[in-house]
Amino acid sequence: MNLPRRTILAALPATAGLLGLGACSTGGATAQASSTASSQAPTDAKLALDHAAWRYDADHKVYYQLGLRYVATPQASDYETLGIYVPGAYFTGKDNGNGTYTVTVNASGA
- Quick check: 49 and 65 in contact, CB under 8 A? yes
> What is the model's pTM?
0.58
Tell me which residue of 109, 35, 92, 110 sits closest to 101, measured CA to CA: 92
The ranges assigned to domains in the chain are 5-39, 45-105
pLDDT score recorded for residue 58: 96
How many of the other CB atoms lie within 10 Å of CB of 15? 10
Q: What is the pLDDT of residues 23-76, one digit of tens each?
A: 665 555 555 555 555 566 667 777 888 899 999 999 999 999 999 988 888 898
pLDDT classification of 2: cutoffs 50, 70, 90: confident
